[in-house]
A and B are shown apart, each in its own frame.
Chain A
Amino acid sequence: MISAPATITETPGIWERLWQRSVPRIALVILAVVTLAAIIGPELMPARAREVSADQYSPPALAHPFGTDLEGRDLLYRVLEGARISLLVGISGAFISFFVGTAYGLVAGYAGGRLDGGMMRAVEILYSIPRLIIILVFINAFDKYVKTWMANEGLGSMAGDSRVIILILCLGLIEWLTMARIVRGQVLTLKAQQYVAAAQALGQSHFKILTRHLLPNLLGIVVVYLTLTVPAVILDESFLSFLGLGVQAPQASWGTLLADGASVINPIKSNWWLLVFPGVAMCTTLLALNFLGDAIREAIDPKARR
């Protein structure tokens, strides 16, 4: 899923240019490794690693390379499982924001006039409500509905996942605001280009102009912003986890692991591995995503290239 940049086929050479430079290459390799580890890692672990044991807070050793937690669970397994959920939430949340934000921004920017004014006013109003409150109100409101819906669909056994679904929805539905603004701004400049006027003069439908002419030219900036939204959503989820509103135990995300690790910090007995391993996993991934985003931006922006 990380290979999304490959979709910018309209401007050949970007992919090659990214791969030639060391920073985006390292970032891509890191992201591929993390994704692969998240997908197959937990399956490769021995069954006993998943279970609660009496081996509480044992430091990293051969049996448990990352040590164990409060309940004697293997931290390596927990971090891999956390990678699954954090990446799932981050990527799905970013994609929801991508679809909603792009569609909204496209319509507002293309329509212009009063519709544009009204739509952007609505975004402004949503911006003036604290993010945390919107997220919490969503969680509060969705919680019951998603749970009953899942029970009705015979998905009762997946009750633990309902929170993950709610988180993805909420975070996706809050992150789209910025995406909409960026896309709209871009559409306003694109709309003034002559090829759009030509398409209009030829009698092409608005839908076709939007999807065939405007969307492909937007993809670059949107992909950049997408790579930067994934880390933002992962971070948001970690804050919700700290507040006890994120992923629910026994499921783990990097956020819940970090929150657990941070809560046991004390000068007498530092269970450092509880903080260091999830922290390194999360930071490396977020850094890689940010560096990749910056590199794509530089690759598509002629002004940034020197």
Chain B
Amino acid sequence: MVTFILRRIISLLFVLFCVITITFFLMKLAPGGPFDRERKIPPQIMKELLAKYRLDGPWTQQYRDYLWDVVHGNLRLSLRYRNRSVNELLAQTLPVSGTLGGIAFLIATAGGIWVGAFAAVRHHRPADTLSMLGALLAISIPTFVVGPLLILVFALRLRWLPVGGWSGISYLILPAITLAAPYLAYIARLMRTSMLEVLGSDFIRTARAKGLSQPRIVYKHALKVAILPVVSFLGPLAANLLTGSVVVESIFNIPGAGAFFVNSVLNNDEFLLGGVVIVYCSLLVVMNLIVDLVYMGLDRRIRLYD
């Protein structure tokens, strides 16, 4: 167990190193520089700017310096949000995105598992067909359509919830639902397929033969096994949701980190991009590690059943 975790942490460091290297050189190769948008800068000032942001010198030197800084937890100054460090920008926005994403994560997982199991138990009946049609619709309608529609109905017409912004629990509800909807639908589909397979397996037949009640079979025996494909999807899901969604955050005017994912690339803000990528990547690998540990826990019980 300990060696397993240790090996995974070493592999995390390796993946992080590769990802930082790839993004660093991709940004260097991309046309355009961080100071392109402004009016022509005199060469002397440009030189000082480059020196201030430590963008002078050969790439290999810059790369080494950057890695050194990252190892020491210094993600450097943003090139676009002047005089603000990437650490500061992320510390300010990630808690917001994380709160919203965490709630969306809970809605998507709990709702998806429930809908999927519900549909599987009613296989080939109208409730199954309808919920799967609903799930496909939720996947097919982009969030930038769902969001404004929810605002129109619940905020503007019914006036139950605020239109947008970030100053209380009621501000969380609509964006969290918008963010969760497609993932909920995806999990429901995963869950239904896997539940159907499990319900057709031998150990469920045995449970039926023992005379166990249907709810007991479904919730006590089948769910534990059927949930496995969903569990392995939760790692990437958490990393995606917790780092914020640019679309949902811009629709609901939420001061989260999502916008950095787009702006950092478009503004050639390579250090902000680096920070965002490091956070996302570490989160993804850590979440995958947790998922694997959970999986191993569940797995032991499967072997008992098999």
**Which A residues have a C-beta under 8 Å from some C-beta of B?**
124-125, 127-130, 132-133, 136-137, 140-141, 143-144, 231, 235, 238-239, 242-243, 245, 255, 258-259, 261-263, 265-267, 270, 275, 279, 282-283, 286-287, 290-291, 303
Report if A238-B142 is in contact (Cβ < 8 Å); known contacts: A140-B266, A141-B31: yes
**Which B residues have a C-beta under 8 Å from some C-beta of A?**
15, 18-19, 22-23, 26-27, 29-32, 133, 136-137, 139-142, 144-145, 147-149, 151-152, 156-157, 197, 236, 240, 243, 246-247, 261-262, 264-266, 268, 273, 276-277, 280-281, 284-285
What chain A residues lie within 8 Å of B240 (beta carbons)?
A: 130
B152 touches which of A124, A238, A265, A290 (Cβ 8 Å):
A265
B70 CB to nearest A CB, Å = 16
A267 to B137, CA, bound (A): 24
B265 CB to nearest A CB, Å = 4
Report if A242-B277 is in contact (Cβ < 8 Å); known contacts: A132-B246, A303-B197: no
What chain B residues lie within 8 Å of A245 (beta carbons)?
A: 262
A133 to B157, CA, bound (A): 36
What chain A residues lie within 8 Å of B276 (beta carbons)?
A: 130, 133
Interface SS of chain A: helix, strand, loop or mixed?
helix
What chain A residues lie within 8 Å of B151 (beta carbons)?
A: 265
What chain A residues lie within 8 Å of B136 (beta carbons)?
A: 286-287, 290-291
B280-A239 in contact (CB<8A): no
What chain A residues lie within 8 Å of B149 (beta carbons)?
A: 265, 275
Report if A262-B148 is in contact (Cβ < 8 Å); known contacts: A128-B285, A129-B23, A267-B157: yes
Interface SS of chain B: helix, strand, loop or mixed?
helix
5 nearest A-B residue pairs (beta carbon): A286-B140, A136-B265, A267-B156, A242-B144, A265-B148
A124 touches which of B15, B141, B243, B266 (Cβ 8 Å):
B15
The chain B residue with its CB closest to the CB of A231 is: B140
The chain B residue with its CB closest to the CB of A235 is: B142
What chain B residues lie within 8 Å of A266 (beta carbons)?
A: 152, 156
